[in-house]
Chains A and B, each alone.
Chain A
Amino acid sequence: MNKKATRSTKPKPDPDAAPQKQAVCAVKKVFFIADNLLQAEDGADRMRLERFYHPGKGQPAWFITHHDCQIMEMLEYGEPRRSWLLNNEVCSNGRTYMTTPLDATLLALHHLRKHCSQRAMSLDSISVDASDASTNRLLTKFVTAAGLKCVADVKASGDLVFYKYNPQRTLAWLTLKTRGVVAVLKAKQVHCGLGAKSQNYVRSEKLVSENDVNEMDYLRMACDYVGRYLDADLHEELTRYLQIPSEIQALVEEKSSAQKRKSQQGQPSANSKKIKLANGEDAASQLRNSSLLDSDDGKDSITSPPTPAPLKERTMTAKEKALAKGAKGSKSIASFFKAK
């Protein structure tokens, strides 16, 4: 992270306006930009604010390009009721803007899927088909051949290079990306489990070692990160490919498995309670007819005789527990005396 908090002003609608130009109406914004990018600004290859189609958002979004080779996403962080104080001036726009480098292949993927899923095309012809000039710029300037190789079949004929979208290769490449994000999330100890968790609340060592976040939570989170730069259907495809159950599904499964355990433990007591409710034949049949009971479970509780089970259910006193402990290692008396 060689980023440094730096202040620069940029009139948003006009990307070519020089930062130094202090126009009266200039809107001041706070940016986090890498230092080395700002220094290069004097030369010809300074940063440019451009619009490209963002597959995750499904519409064009702002990106910052540099040297005509690097493309950076512009992230915006806004908090309500926040403003900056800049040189004795209050800047009412309290948002913070950040730039993060982006793999242009992710952006190109949208165009490849759109145009080259059936036939191989050269990048130029894709651009011609596309209505927007930005597509041409994106595909010709920023996308690297190496990157495209990861998501498409490459066919070269003389000087012309044709690309055909390859779904298998793309998913494999996205999986690699996802795994990379998982590694980063783990390294940074980002909580990915269900619910919120305080980062600086130190739990006892024992609990820390006991991993309450499973691999799938990390994978889901990482997949969502990657999916933010993909078309919605491709994101879904990736989720399926990685076999990530949806969060709700995982929650339900976890719950049901927990309940299963509980029900296995407390089955007799649960049944005995049901028996008390189902007092007599009429109540029992009513209960059976109403779909309140699971068919097999219900049948069991209704048909089982109500007498001896509840007696054995009561909790043991300390004395009884001690006696039961003492019985360990002894043979059963019933093995000596047979029932009459």
Chain B
Amino acid sequence: MFEARLGQATILKKILDAIKDLLNEGTFDCSDSGIQLQAMDNSHVSLVSLTLRSDGFDKFRCDRNLSMGMNLGSMAKILKCANNEDNVTMKAQDNADTVTIMFESANQEKVSDYEMKLMNLDQEHLGIPETDYSCVVRMPAMEFARICRDLAQFSESVVICCTKEGVKFSASGDVGTANIKLAQTGSVDKEEEAVIIDMQEPVTLTFACRYLNAFTKATPLSTQVQLSMCADVPLVVEYAIKDLGHIRYYLAPKIEDNET
């Protein structure tokens, strides 16, 4: 028997919105430590890794490890039926082929439940090696989303160049070139507005802009985003989900000297 209850449906809504553009379906691996989801997008260029810790839930019970393959579009549709303040409970029997999602209004006056068919997804899990990243940039999630959106107008690919002066995002295309430089914030008044650069070695990498934009769908989940980079290694874009876990996007770099 699996049962997980969250105080606010809105968090689950945001999580689904953050991954459903990249993934059509995914497997929620439930264990007593929490829920994990790992999947590559259709083009196998990016990897989404979602971790929700069991202690972040209001109630969490998982008797046996359970893998629930879900159509994420359908899941998002069901979650649209919930009010933001509703409690949400996911339930499944061991070896079940359906999952029940139940919404309860705060005063318990309205209870709705939805049953969704599970899928048998044959997805392999990838081992992500521990990496000592040359550059780790923490910046406001909104700022990152804005930069990705702006640069997408100029080119299909974005060059991220991290030096000790700061981090530079640039794109060049038919319209012209665009450069956005962010320097490390001097005095940190508000942590969520800070740009913090932790650099061992300067790094310059090129990434597909569309994917970065897809990652920024997770912006509502977190005030800050963390970009971890290392030469010839996938970029990690991490959004922390407060008290619950995190969502990490891995994006393979573009091959150098390719047409944009």
Contacts and interface: CB of A to CB of B under 8 A. Distances in A.
B211 A331 contact: no
Contact of A340 (B24, B44, B127): B127
A105 B7 CA distance: 102
Interface residues of A, number: 25
B127 A338 contact: yes
A340 B125 contact: yes
Interface in B23-42: 24-25, 40-42
Contacts of B214: 323
B259 A331 contact: no
B252 A333 contact: yes
Given A337-B128, A337-B129, A339-B125, A324 B43 contact: yes
Contact of B126 (A316, A320, A338): A338
A311 B42 CA distance: 12
A307 B207 CA distance: 34
Contacts of B260: 329
Interface string A288-328: 00000000000000000001100100001001101111111
Contacts of B11: none
B126 to A, nearest CB: 4
B177 interface: no
A334 B41 contact: no
A336 interface: yes
Contacts of B125: 339-340
Contacts of B126: 333-334, 337-340
Contacts of B156: 325-326, 328
A39 interface: no
Contact of A332 (B21, B44, B129, B233): B44
B53 interface: no
Contact of A330 (B24, B40, B119, B208): B208
Contacts of B21: 319, 323
B239 interface: no
B127 A325 contact: no
A89 B92 CA distance: 100
B37 to A, nearest CB: 15
Contacts of B127: 337-340
Interface in B233-260: 233-234, 250-255, 258-260
A329 B252 contact: no
Nearest to A336: B234
22 contacts: A308-B122, A311-B25, A323-B214, A327-B43, A327-B44, A327-B211, A329-B157, A329-B258, A329-B260, A330-B207, A330-B208, A330-B254, A333-B44, A333-B47, A333-B234, A333-B250, A333-B252, A336-B233, A337-B126, A337-B127, A337-B129, A338-B126
Interface of B: 21-22, 24-25, 40-47, 119-120, 122, 124-129, 156-157, 207-211, 214, 233-234, 250-255, 258-260
